[in-house]
Structure 1
Amino acid sequence: MVKKHMVAAFGRHKLQQITPEILQRYYADKLATGRRDGKGGLSPRTVKHHHRLLHVIFASEVKWRVLPRNPAHAVDPPQFQRKEMNTFDQEGLETFLNSLQDTEYYPVFYTLLFTGMRRSEALALRWQDLDLDFGRLSIERSLHHLNDRTFHFLPPKTEKSRRLVALPPSLVMVLKQLRDNQRAMRLTMGLAVSNNDLVFAHVDGKPLLPHSISQAWSRLAKRAGYPEVRLHDARHSHASLMLAQGVHPKVVSERLGHNSVSLTLDVYSHVLPGIQEAAALAFDNAFKGETHEAKQKLSETLATTNGLGCK
């Protein structure tokens, strides 16, 4: 982002010369003609990422007294609407997974739905990143397919994205079966087998095209009767179902690799009203249960006392 966009736009300016007006014009230019392939502008969401990065850069300069104030404070970044979230409920999740069992995509989609991983993180997994005996995986990198058709393994999206994720027993079974089948197939073909092999890959070990995985999801979701559920909604489904089951938001945030719990609560605020109602009902039931037990103990005590002849 810095090399491809910002250096070209601001390279001739000293930091002290960059004004809010220059930044506002930069955002407008990126929205209109920011794509490097010349096919129009960048999305408002992407330009807002530019704004956040510039804000951090200028804030550090203010901290070190290089600048008297942060010019990004006075700029209005572009607004964008989040894409509508379409998630599976528990029944829908089971129906979709059952429809996948005869396909080669069953293991990777099962993994996405049961871990909340990003597509890029799942496609970068190696067998050495998995501990199937203890049921956990380590997310250390992500896979990206560039315009020149080359694959690059890069660090995760943020520092919090580098994380350990506990695996449910059913997923461990799916992955063990995949490992055994994959190794048997490669040995039959005379190919070497290594813990450095990708978990989700072609038979020859080459990475899967990220776009092809998204296309396969769309096709199979439509076949199963869920055309509105996107691949990224697998991540949303995982989080929404966990929150609805009463899992602490901090745990969900850690599984997703979010920077903060507040981000998780913001993204999944639609689940919270139901959680609030369930919590209130649980508290009420617990209180009533304790009150009932206290009354019952008092009655038993009085009955025993009366039986002893006390008045």
Structure 2
Amino acid sequence: MAGKRRFGRVRQLPSGRWQARYHGPDQMDHPAPTTFATKTDANRWLSLKEAEIVSGDWLNPDAGQVSFKDYAEAWVNERPDLRLTTVTRYDVLLRKHLVPTFGKSEVGKILDPHVRRWRKQLLDSGIGPVTVAKAYRLLKAIFNTAVQDGLIKRNPCNIKGAGSEHSPERPVLDIKEVFTLADAIDERFRALVLLATFANLRWGEAVALRRKDLDLKAGTVRVERTLVEVSGRPFHFGPPKTEAGVRTLPIPAIVLPHMREHVRKFAEDGPDGLIFVGEKGALLRRANFRRNWLRALDRAGLKDIRFHDLRHTGNTLAAIAGATLPELKERMGHSSDRAAMIYLHATDDRHREIADLLSTMAKTALRKAGKKRSGTQRARGR
């Protein structure tokens, strides 16, 4: 038994349930994903579909049938401007944390509860919160594009704060510890420790420096490239992470003598010669440097310090010295405020400096005011 209506069609099946169908904007016939207990329910569903078409909110129900694995892989491949390190990170996150759960599912059938259960299972299995946050951000970005492509109506990633990383606070060395570490490491790496700290350099930026990037007369270092290290692929030099990463930084005067001595003893010849090389004169690799680093930490009496903590230390010292937000961003090579704001947090030492400065200002102001008091005021003061 079929029922006629202005939009769509309904008919009763031999089972007694009702089926609904309609002709979509794509000129194709689309059945409801389920049958209905009553004719009224089937007609109500068709009315909702008609409203979606009229308002422009209609989505082709067949569009979201692509598997998440195929769509996610295409999502990465369609972004030619991604750095190789970013592509590698996405590949790992997809392979280890996203595809095992969502790979065979249709994009249009992944819902909010599925995402919540997936995230909880990762955390319960011992996956680090930072890794889970990165995987969640990637998943959310993929679904944002799926919304734009008209595959789904809304993004199922709606867990508040799930994409935020809460890494433990990294240690900050004081200036004495930095120089103690520099003295403890092999001589050919002493200047590397000092420059990475006081010029706020990343590992890849430091080991990519050439003679022509240093101006020891002006006391500056120019950052124009970085060493890209991706597991299983050849090392190569590429541009910094962002356009803001290309920058010229002053070298503190206390570091310049160490840089001059290092260039004279260890740097490669010629303007394109590398400033920092390995013990055998080859490209300095992180894995080879690590042995020297660990020995130096032991000699200096320091524990759980990573090379990147030197940059963290330099950023913190610059903030304590009074660097403004724009100055910190320029030193760090960041285009956004978020990373630089981390280093503008107050420290106990900075609080003490501010308190001492306020005390000095108050004493000076009171002393000047005392000179202008009348004889009666001075008498009362006595």
Instruction: Using structure 2 for the length normalisation, give the TM-score.
Output: 0.60
2:350 matched to 1:275? yes
Q: 3-state SS of the aligned residue for 1:120?
A: helix
Which one is further off, 18-27 or 236-245? 18-27
Q: 3-state SS of the aligned residue for 2:282?
A: coil
Q: In structure 1, what is the equivalent of residue 223 of structure 2?
A: 139
Q: In structure 2, what is the equivalent of residue 293 of structure 1?
A: 368
- The amino acid of 1:295's aligned partner reads G
Q: In structure 1, what is the equivalent of residue 112 of structure 2?
A: 20
- The amino acid of 1:19's aligned partner reads L
**Is the Cα–Cα contact under 8 Å of residues 108 and 200 in structure 1 kept in the other structure?**
yes
> Against the structure 1 CA distance between its residues 131 and 204, is the aligned structure 2 distance closer, same or farther, given a 3 Å change threshold?
same
| Count, aligned residues | 283
Q: For the residues of structure 2 that align with 1:194 and 1:23, how far apart are their CA atoms?
A: 55
**Is the Cα–Cα contact under 8 Å of residues 134 and 163 in structure 2 kept in the other structure?**
no
**Is the Cα–Cα contact under 8 Å of residues 143 and 154 in structure 1 kept in the other structure?**
yes
Aligned counterpart in structure 2 of residue 47 of structure 1, from 132, 156, 160 = 132
Shift of 1:217: 1.6
Q: In structure 2, what is the equivalent of residue 169 of structure 1?
A: 253
Q: In structure 1, what is the equivalent of residue 273 of structure 2?
A: 197
Q: In structure 2, what is the equivalent of residue 98 of structure 1?
A: 183
> Larger relative CO (CA 8 A, sep 6+): 1 or 2?
1
Aligned counterpart in structure 1 of residue 172 of structure 2, from 87, 95, 99 = 87
Q: 3-state SS of the aligned residue for 2:173?
A: coil
2:327 matched to 1:254? no
Q: In structure 2, what is the equivalent of residue 236 of structure 1?
A: 312
> Against the structure 1 CA distance between its residues 45 and 5, is the aligned structure 2 distance closer, same or farther, given a 3 Å change threshold?
closer
Shift of 1:273: 4.2
**Is the Cα–Cα contact under 8 Å of residues 218 and 230 in structure 1 kept in the other structure?**
no
Instruction: Using structure 1 for the length normalisation, give the TM-score.
Output: 0.71
Structure whose alpha-carbon radius of gyration is higher: 2
Aligned counterpart in structure 1 of residue 154 of structure 2, from 46, 66, 69 = 69
Q: For the residues of structure 2 that align with 1:275 and 1:135, how far apart are their CA atoms?
A: 28
Aligned counterpart in structure 2 of residue 120 of structure 1, from 204, 208, 215 = 204
Q: For the residues of structure 2 that align with 1:149 and 1:64, how far apart are their CA atoms?
A: 33
**Per-residue CA shift, 1:157-193, capped at 9, x if unaligned?**
345434332211233332233223346xx6xxxxxx4
Unaligned runs of 5+ in 1: 34-40, 187-192, 304-311
> Against the structure 1 CA distance between its residues 42 and 96, is the aligned structure 2 distance closer, same or farther, given a 3 Å change threshold?
same
